[in-house]
Chains A and B, each alone.
Chain A
Amino acid sequence: DAKTTQPNSMESNEEEPVHLPCNHSTISGTDYIHWYRQLPSQGPEYVIHGLTSNVNNRMASLAIAEDRKSSTLILHRATLRDAAVYYCILRGAPGGGTSYGKLTFGQGTILTVHP
């Protein structure tokens, strides 16, 4: 399976932007880049996903490098509620080398937001 690498932890101040990096140098051409987060004592929550182009939604933005070997999740204005573990996950097509169907969670990045 194609793997992702994320920093163990990051810190931010409230109302400042946060850039969460993810490296995926062995990504396949058909792999989607997904981001999920898990708040304390809750189930994972879908944040955003993309394939090649940058993506925006109400929660965040996803910036994908031109060679697709890395991506960055951008929270434009961090709030205390954004404190969570953020997971970058690759999802592949059936028959490909990357996990199909299931999500393979790594250790993620623990984001701490200071008031």
Chain B
Amino acid sequence: NAGVMQNPRHLVRRRGQEARLRCSPMKGHSHVYWYRQLPEEGLKFMVYLQKENIIDESGMPKERFSAEFPKEGPSILRIQQVVRGDSAAYFCASSPTGQSNQPQHFGDGTRLSIL
């Protein structure tokens, strides 16, 4: 049973470009979470999605960031007009439900570097 798959593992963008990060949840999981880890900082929640719905986006920056989890295909975290401060590791997690007694399973992350 494949785990959470994130790609690409490493992504380099120049300032002003767009970054698209993809996350395929574990089989049978319809709940996806995105987290960001800035250099030398802790993990911060960004957004929680269930198929085609955003459940909680309280951690998403108000501008340039968006996320989707379509009925078919992976979840996408999109960052428009990237800036140096967007350089970070972005982790995706999935779970079968959003219940608090369910663990979240994480991918190995996408390391985004902005030149």
A residues with CB within 8 A of B: 30-32, 34, 38, 42-46, 49, 51, 91-93, 99-108
- 8 Å CB contact of A102 from B48, B105, B106: B48
Contacts of B42 in A (CB 8 A): 105-108
Q: A-contacting residues of B (Cβ < 8 Å)?
A: 4, 31, 33, 35, 42-45, 48, 55-56, 58-59, 91, 93, 98, 100-101, 103-109
Chain B residues whose C-beta falls within 8 Å of the C-beta of A51 in the assembled complex: 101
A31 to B101, CA, bound (A): 9
Q: How far is the CB of A31 from chain B (nearest CB, A)?
A: 7
Contact call A104/B107, Cβ cutoff below 8 A: no
What are 15 A-B pairs with beta-carbon distances under 8 A?
A: A31-B100, A34-B103, A42-B108, A43-B109, A44-B106, A91-B100, A101-B48, A101-B55, A102-B33, A102-B45, A102-B56, A102-B59, A103-B45, A103-B104, A105-B45
- Could you tell me the distance between the alpha carbons of A32 and B104 in the complex, rounded to whole angstroms? 13
